[in-house]
Structures are given as structure tokens and as C-alpha cells.
Structure 1
Amino acid sequence: MSILSDNSTKRSVVIVGGGFAGIGLFNILEKTLDPQTTSITLITPRAYFVHLPAVLRMIVTADEDLEDKILLPLTERFNQSNKRVVLGKVASITDDTEDGFVTLENGEQVGYTVLALATGSNWEGCLNFPDGISEVRRHDKEWRTRFANAKSIVLVGGGGIGFELAGEIMDDWPEKKVTIVHSKPLLLNDTYPNNWRKSVNENIEKRGVELVLNDRILDPVPKGGKVITQNGLTLDADLVIPTRGPKPNTQFIGESLGPNTLNSFGEVKVLPTFQVLGFPRIFAIGDIVDVKEQKSARKGSKHCKISANNIKVILAEGTTLEVSHGYFNRLLAFLRPTLLPYPGCVEILPLSNGKNYGTSYLGVLWGITFGDWFTMRTASENLYMGFVKRAMNL
């Protein structure tokens, strides 16, 4: 099978994934790589970008034409000059040749000089979206009907997804019985301080949401309008929705590059430069990487900046380079090519509780927290929809 490539250029960067990290990296590289010498290919199964932080509102309510603000088509610029989009899913990676290539599920092959993997997460339940926009609209309509018809809704998992979905449901149907079942004594996880997590519990409980803590749902299929928890508690449930964290979309990476490429959670093992362990011209960024931090779109934007610098260095200098550590050496990166390590990010978590409520955490000093008014104005009211469209240049 022929390898698709741009014969007018000598080098090629291939980015797999069209989410925050993949498009964020594409946007940086298109401004900084010479179009006469390097091509950029984005491989994604969708001809549009999904603004994930806003989709929970989209699947609950048909108001405000939210699909048009959240499902953002890739514009013409993605297929201009040295850039192009290939619609499809990658099945395997081959990196044992002078120029590697990826093979799509349809058998097409796309060659690369440098490869960036930003494949994101596999979601379940109401967040398991199909690829076509018309199918997504059908998916949303079906879930809105389920929400409307259910009197008692149980959400399995009390992380950010469960919290925010509960708030969206209460906005539209305050009369419904909504219960969150969470395996820990407080919502979220131990990354965040207990004093804020207690306020997270209180923030959702004041909306009328019930919390069942230190417990689990083993069988999520309601029987006779009921589900039974691991501790033997019987809950009313016309609709049970998994709201646990997603799993990294990395199976084909492990199968292609070897199982030692992934950790036990399926995350890609990377160096501080975001180079995949053992594969210096392959990068991984976004939610799929084995970096000890909470996953978020904000982190992805910083991943993009570091990896974009390092991709340019690899293209210019090759793969056997020293990493530049320390403040002074990082300053020298502006004067000479050098690989930069990821310095990490401050933990920031705004939690929207419907349109008018919420709570936020900023992990500086002792941990600064904000309540309803601040969170509403910065996040809950519009869920960054206008900002994201501008930031992603869509």
C-alpha cells in the first residue's frame, strides 16, 4: 500500500488526534515551521473539534443551539499550504524505518519524520459520542429523551463529570431525584484538600442532589426501577449513568510500540520532553501521558508549547540531544535549539454546578478556593464556549 506524503517537502510532522492537544499543537506548528521544508498532517476521525468541557450541558438541554457552539468544524486553513487533514483512525505505528509511518484502519499509510500522539480518552455512557455530526445530534436527542423520561437518576462516580452533570440535570429538572454514588468519603480525589472537597459536597447537595459515599454500584442495570449498592443500599433508579473517569485511547500504541510503552493504566510513558520512552521522534501529549497530574485541557495547552519546541529541535538537529534543565539553560533555548522538559502545571479546577452555581480551586499557596459567584462568572455561565472557539482558531 502506498504511503501518503507531501512530495514537495522533505520532512513531515504527523499529529494523531483532533482534540485540545492535537489542534493546539497543530496551531503552534503551522505558525513556526517553514512550509517550504516541512508538512503538517492532522489525522482525526472527526471533521470537527469537540469542546468537551461543555458537552454535559449539550446532552441535557436542547436550548441555545449548543451543538453549533460546541461541535466546531475544522476550517479551510487546515488544508492549505503545507497542511492537510486526513479523516480516519490510526490502527498501527511503524517506526523501524528511516521515515516511519502510521497505518489507518482503512489500510492507508501516512509517513512521518516526527509523530505526535494526542489521541485523548475513551469515554462511556452519555459521553461516548459517535464520529459524524449528524450521529452526534441523534445521540444528544436520545439522551435528552432519557433524562426527560427518568424520575430517578443515579450517577456512578463523583469526580468532576458526576458533579457537573448533576448540576446540569438540576437546572432543567429540579424536581427529579438525582443521586451520586462515589467510592470515597468526599467527592473528587485526594489531589485536592479535604476542606475544599467538603465544600464541593455542600455545593451540590444544596441543589437537592443526594450523595451516597464510601460505596459503589456493581451492577449498573436497574431492575424494577432500583439498583443495589455494594453496601446493600437500595436506590431508586430509572436511569443509571457511568460518570467515572475515562480511559486513555492508547491500545494501538501499546500494540505497535510494545506493551512497555504503556503503564498499568494504559497511559503512555514519556520523558520530561514528551518523547515516548524509547522512541525519540515520537511524542505523546494530553490526557494519554504518564505524567503525575490531573488531566485537563489547560494542561494540554502547556504540553503543546513544550512539545512544539522539542519537535522543532528534533527536525533541525536530530534525535540525540541533551535536555536543557534549569532557568538559565531554558533562557538559552531562545538562542539555540535545545530540548525542554515539562515543568508541570499548577492544579486548577473550576466545577460548574449548572449555570449559576459552582466552586473552584487554585493550587497555589495554601490552596485558594472560590464559590458560586466567581465560578459562575468565569466558567458556569458560558463554559468558555466563545473563548475556546477563538483560542482554537475555529
Structure 2
Amino acid sequence: MTYPHSSKAKSVVILGGGVAGALTALKLCTRIDPAKHTLTLINNRPCFVHLTATARMVVTPEGQLENRAIIPLDRLLERGTGELKIGRAVAIKETAPGEGGVVLLDTDEAIPYDILVLATGSSWPRLLDFPDKPEDVRKHVDTWRHKFEAASHVVIVGGGAVGIELAGELKCHSPGKRVTIIHSEPLLLNSAYPDRFRKDIARRLHAKGIEVLLGDRVEIPPELTTGIVTRNGVQLSDADLVVQAYGAKPNTGFLRTWDIEILTSRGFVKVDAHLEVPGHPGVFAAGDIIDWPEEKQSHKAVEHVPVVVANVLRRLAGDAPRKVYRGSPETLVIPVGKTGGAGYVAVFGGFRVFVGDCVVRKVKAQTLSVDRARRELGYRD
């Protein structure tokens, strides 16, 4: 295989069409000069799956969320210059640090780059492991809806945001269904959040009739198993659907054949304050995959975008990166069904803000930010 590389224009390649990659492409497509540079967004599917809506989408056909939360990427680059290419990156071949290289795809294509942005996001097991083809995404959604509809007692393993929101949607859609969350820590979520918030979430779940087992674990059984026993010996004899709601991992395995030193032991990409990969000028990373002391959330990826965009433009101009990422406050809004939930914001300076049903219902629970996501991707219906 040959690796073509044009010297006439600098090529910017973005790997990943999730929140970080799509928004970086959107911002860059209107700011780069097409006479001098090219922009290519590579994604494994031709659509964006709005993960904020997935807990509700996989539980109920009400509102047909799949028609709006699975958003084509065909309009993303219409406002500027750029190309969307469908494929999955399998390797990076760098010419030399700072001199670009090529991205090798599973389609046997080799895409040249001078500037590379890594934004490949996280992979989830089972429930959130969406296929690449849009029609298969819809089949995946339908499959899980049937599973949830048929189950009489759903056990959700993992009491993070995904597990909590899923439990809330199940109870909202099917109030008579038994729902249990099993979480390994003594409180829900993790220690990034204050105990007050974690206890408040538990209280709201209990009020909905959702059972919570803390400080306990259970092995994920084979499908069609009825009845489980937790490590602490709690018997849930009627549990007929066990759902894994933990275990997200960075999608960075393909980088191991390039430079193993850029990855942590857990597979996160090392970056400096400019979100540039050390030792590889012109290679940036954003979103869930970066090694940064913060929770992995979509709004954090949004904060990465302006830093990456500004520094990509400086590299294109022949200048060193200058814009610095200083982190962002921990914020988490968790709906427990459509009618409310709880939220927490850590404001710089040590201030903490806690919100309840009214705010959560308005900012997330009712709409799940679907319309905003569609507008950002060029759909204003």
C-alpha cells in the first residue's frame, strides 16, 4: 500500500464524529481557507447518536426518539469546507514528529494529514454499544426495547449517571416493573461529587420505587438467566434482565501500533495544556479519550473544542499552540424520568450549587437536549 501526501495544501484530519470531533469539525470548516487547506472528518458511522437521549430511547418507543436522536452528519460541514469520510481508523503511520502522516482505515484507504485531531470517544458494553450502520442502530434500539418490555425485574449493575438515568426511565415508562441498581461504592456515583448530592439522588430513586444495593457487586450472567445472587449474598430470585451500566473505555486501541508512549496504562491519550500530544507537534486530542483529571462527560468535550480549534489554526499558520485548557467545573444533571431529578455544579472558587426537580425538568429531563444537538449538526427542524 502506498501513502499519498500532497504538499500543495495542509490537510487537517479529525478522527471521530462524536461531540468533540463533530464540534471541532464544525468550528474549523468555516475558519480554514479551502485554497490552502483541506478538512476531513472520519467517523465509523454516517450519523451522530445523541447519547443524552439513549436511556429513554432504548426503553420506550414513545415520541419515536430514534427519528431525532440518531442524527445524520451530512449537513455538519455545509456551512464551510470539508469532507465527511466513513470508516474506522485501524492505524496511524507518522512520517516523523511534526511532519504529518497518514490514517489507515478499515476500508484500506490511507488518508494523509498534516494536522491530526484524535476524538474517538468511549466504547461501552452491550446496551450502549451501537453498531456502525444507521439501520443497525435502530435494530439495536428495538432489541433493547423488547428486552425491557419483556422483563419483570430489571437489575442495573452500575450506579453512575447511565445506570441512574436508565432506572428512572424504566420506572417512568413502566411504574409496575421492579427495578434494582447494584453499585460497588458506599454511595451512588463516585467521589468526584459531594455526599449530599449522592445521597439526594438515592433518595429520589427510592421515592420512585427503585431499589438500590450499595457496596455490592454481581457478575453479569448469560442472557435468559433468571435469578442472581450478589457477592454480599443478596438473592434476587426473580431478576430476569441484568444490564451492565459501567465499563466505558477509551477508543484508542488503534494507537498502540503507532506510539505506545502516548497512552496511559488505561488507554487514555496523554496531552499537554494545549491539548497537544507531547512529542507529536500538530497532533491534538479531545473528548473522553484525553488523560485529564476530570469526569468524562459531553460538556467537558465541548470545553475542549475551542482550545483545539485555536491551536490547530496556529499550527496551520506555522505558529506554536498558545491557548491553554484549564479544566472546567464538575457539573452533573441527572434526570430520574421525565419529571425531575437532581443536579450539581461546582463553581470555581469552591462554591457549590445543588438543583432539584424544577431545574432538571427544564434543562434536561423533558427535552434531553435533542433539538439543540440537531441544530448544532445543521438540522433546524
TM-score (norm 2): 0.94
CA distance in 2, matches of 1:77, 1:23: 8
Q: CA deviation at 1:254?
A: 2.3
Q: CA deviation at 1:9?
A: 5.1
1:131-166 deviation per Cα after TM superposition (whole angstroms, max 9, x unaligned): 111111111111111101100111000000000000
Q: Which amino acid aligns with 2:124?
A: W
Q: CA deviation at 1:261?
A: 1.4
Q: How does 1:209-228 map to 2 (within 5 A)?
A: 209-221=210-222, 225-228=226-229
Q: CA deviation at 1:77?
A: 5.6
Name which of 310, 315, 331 aligns with 1:348.
331
Native 8 Å contact 2:187 2:214 kept in 1: yes
User: Aligned to 1:187, what secondary structure does the other structure show?
Assistant: coil
Aligned to 2:52: 53
Aligned to 1:390: 375
Native 8 Å contact 1:14 1:42 kept in 2: yes
Native 8 Å contact 1:126 1:143 kept in 2: yes
Native 8 Å contact 2:76 2:377 kept in 1: no
Q: CA deviation at 1:347?
A: 1.1
Q: How does 1:294-333 map to 2 (within 5 A)?
A: 294-318=295-319, 321=320
CA distance in 2, matches of 1:104, 1:301: 26
**Structural RMSD (CA):** 1.8
Aligned to 2:356: 371
Q: Which amino acid aligns with 1:304?
A: V
CA distance in 2, matches of 1:31, 1:82: 7
Native 8 Å contact 2:75 2:377 kept in 1: no
User: Aligned to 1:92, what secondary structure does the other structure show?
Assistant: strand
Shift in alpha-carbon separation, 1:32–1:69, aligned structure 2, 3 A: same
Native 8 Å contact 1:58 1:140 kept in 2: yes
Q: How does 1:10-29 map to 2 (within 5 A)?
A: 10-29=9-28
Q: CA deviation at 1:251?
A: 0.6
Native 8 Å contact 1:220 1:240 kept in 2: yes
Aligned to 1:204: 205
Report sequence identity in percent. Answer: 37
Native 8 Å contact 2:90 2:105 kept in 1: yes
User: Aligned to 1:240, what secondary structure does the other structure show?
Assistant: strand
User: Aligned to 1:317, what secondary structure does the other structure show?
Assistant: coil
Q: CA deviation at 1:353?
A: 0.8
CA distance in 1, matches of 2:212, 2:80: 54
1:166-215 deviation per Cα after TM superposition (whole angstroms, max 9, x unaligned): 00101111111111000111100000000111101111111110001001
User: Aligned to 2:48, what secondary structure does the other structure show?
Assistant: strand
Shift in alpha-carbon separation, 1:136–1:96, aligned structure 2, 3 A: same
1:97-137 deviation per Cα after TM superposition (whole angstroms, max 9, x unaligned): 44311101122100000000100011112111111111111
Which ranges in structure 1 are unaligned for 5 or more consecutive residues?
A: 322-337
Q: How does 1:148-159 map to 2 (within 5 A)?
A: 148-159=149-160
Asked whether 1:166 is paired with 2:149, we answer no
Native 8 Å contact 2:153 2:240 kept in 1: yes
Of residues 363-372 and 116-125 in structure 1, the stretch that sits farther from structure 2 once superposed is 363-372
Aligned to 1:33: 32
Asked whether 1:265 is paired with 2:266, we answer yes
Q: CA deviation at 1:67?
A: 1.0
Which ranges in structure 2 are unaligned for 5 or more consecutive residues?
A: none
Shift in alpha-carbon separation, 1:19–1:146, aligned structure 2, 3 A: same
CA distance in 1, matches of 2:227, 2:315: 57
CA distance in 1, matches of 2:79, 2:190: 44
User: Aligned to 1:208, what secondary structure does the other structure show?
Assistant: coil
Shift in alpha-carbon separation, 1:114–1:290, aligned structure 2, 3 A: same
1:286-306 deviation per Cα after TM superposition (whole angstroms, max 9, x unaligned): 000001101111111111100
Aligned to 2:82: 83
Q: Which amino acid aligns with 1:41?
A: T
Q: Which amino acid aligns with 2:103?
A: V
Q: Which amino acid aligns with 1:35?
A: P
Name which of 250, 253, 257 aligns with 2:252.
250
